[in-house]
Every structure is written in structure tokens, then in C-alpha cells.
């Protein structure tokens, strides 16, 4: 059921957000040290390291259609889940017809400690004959720059923000309702 809601939410977003020919300029977070696009936050959440790890692993299984292909490291002892996610970007023509454009890969890191966890989404690369860093699309002075890249960056930002919202929801303790009748 959760996957169906995620898919419907995604298609709703693509219909609303991408129906514009020129979406608003994206403000992707760039790490000042590495100069890489990076979504990172440490979130305070009640729970032991193991409980938070279990919630993170459960979220991963519910968010990704094939979590086994995403996850590369599952280390409960050290409180760490690492993997590589992928994201399909779409091209919208003047008639607002959506066609597959490119595939973007990104690194996912979840770290768990007592009463807190940290997520990091970084190392966004474009799949091709070789991997091209997405940060190249941020340079409007590059001779290879294309205005369509703004739309692609907007799709990346929207999808990553949705991922973060779903992760934070999944990391909260489940409310158990008692059947008192």
C-alpha cells in the first residue's frame, strides 16, 4: 500500500511539477568542502542504535522496489547502511509528452547512534559510457550546458526531498492502536 502511495505521489508530482516548460531554478545543496551535491542531516529520534537501524532497514525495504539491488552494506553492529540508488529523469517536449531521458545514480548512507541518525545522499552521477558528475549541470558557462538540465536538476531535487520526507516518516516509532471495545 505504501509503495502504491509513493508511486501515485510521484506521478502527481511529475504531472504538476514538470508540466512547466521552465521549472523554477533548483537550489541543490552543495557541500562547500567537496563541491558535490549533498543532502545530509542529523536527526534526533528516540530509540537505541539497534532500534533505529531496524527502522532504517524497514524504511529501505518499503521505499525501494528492489532494496537488494540498492543496499551494499548492512552493518547493524556499527549502525550503518550504505548503498547506491538510481533515479530515472524525464524529458518533456512542447506538448508536455514525457519520455525517458537519463538515469542518475547516487550514494545513500544511513548511520545510526543512540537517539539519532544521519542520512547522506551524495555522489550523483549520470549513467553513460562513463559516469558524469551531476555537478557539471550546475555550470551554466559550460559549452555543453543545455537549458533542459535545469529541468533535470529540478527532478533530482524534488525526488530527493520526497525521499527525505519518507525517510523521516519511516524512522518515527509506529503507533500501536489497542483494540479496546
Per-residue pLDDT tens over the stretch 76-92: 999 999 999 999 999 88
9: CB partners within 8 A, 6+ apart: 162
Per-residue pLDDT at 181 exceeds 80:
no
Q: Would you state the pLDDT for residue 153? A: 93
Per-residue pLDDT at 13 exceeds 60:
no
Q: Which CATH topology does 2-171 take? A: Alpha-D-Glucose-1,6-Bisphosphate; Chain A, domain 4 (3.30.530)
Residue ranges with strand state E in 19-140? 38-44, 71-75, 80-92, 98-113, 116-126, 132-133
Q: Would you state the pLDDT for residue 23? A: 52
For residues 133 and 51, give the distance between their C-alpha atoms in angstroms, rounded to a whole number.
35
Contact between 138 and 154 under an 8 Å Cβ cutoff? The reply is no
Per-residue pLDDT at 166 exceeds 70:
yes
* Secondary structure of residue 24 in the 3-state scheme: coil
Contact between 100 and 29 under an 8 Å Cβ cutoff? The reply is no
Q: Would you state the pLDDT for residue 24? A: 53
Q: Would you state the pLDDT for residue 89? A: 92
Per-residue pLDDT tens over the stretch 29-64: 999 999 999 999 999 999 999 999 999 999 999 999
| Global pTM exceeds 0.75 | yes
Confidence of residue 125 (pLDDT cuts 50, 70, 90): very high
**CB 26: neighbour CB atoms within 10 A?**
18
For range 110-132, the mean pLDDT: 92
Cell numbers found for residue 49: 542504535
Amino acid at each position: 500500500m505504501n509503495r502504491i502511495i509513493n508511486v501515485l505521489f510521484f506521478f502527481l508530482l511529475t504531472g504538476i511539477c514538470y508540466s512547466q516548460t521552465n521549472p523554477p531554478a533548483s537550489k541543490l545543496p552543495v557541500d562547500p568542502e567537496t563541491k558535490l551535491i549533498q543532502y545530509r542531516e542529523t536527526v534526533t529520534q528516540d530509540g537505541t542504535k539497534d532500534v533505529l537501524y531496524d527502522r532504517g532497514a524497514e524504511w529501505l525495504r518499503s521505499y525501494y522496489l528492489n532494496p537488494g539491488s540498492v543496499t551494499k552494506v548492512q552493518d547493524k553492529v556499527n549502525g550503518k547502511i550504505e548503498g547506491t540508488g538510481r533515479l530515472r529523469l524525464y524529458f518533456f517536449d512542447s506538448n508536455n509528452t514525457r519520455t525517458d531521458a537519463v538515469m542518475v545514480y547516487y550514494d545513500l548512507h544511513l548511520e545510526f547512534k543512540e537517539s539519532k541518525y544521519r542520512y547522506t545522499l551524495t555522489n550523483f552521477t549520470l549513467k553513460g559510457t562513463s559516469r558524469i558528475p551531476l555537478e557539471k549541470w550546475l555550470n551554466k558557462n559550460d559549452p555543453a550546458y543545455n537549458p533542459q538540465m535545469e529541468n533535470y536538476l529540478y527532478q533530482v531535487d524534488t525526488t530527493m526531498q520526497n525521499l527525505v520526507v519518507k525517510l523521516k516518516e519511516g524512522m518515527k516509532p509506529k503507533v500501536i492502536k489497542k483494540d479496546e471495545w
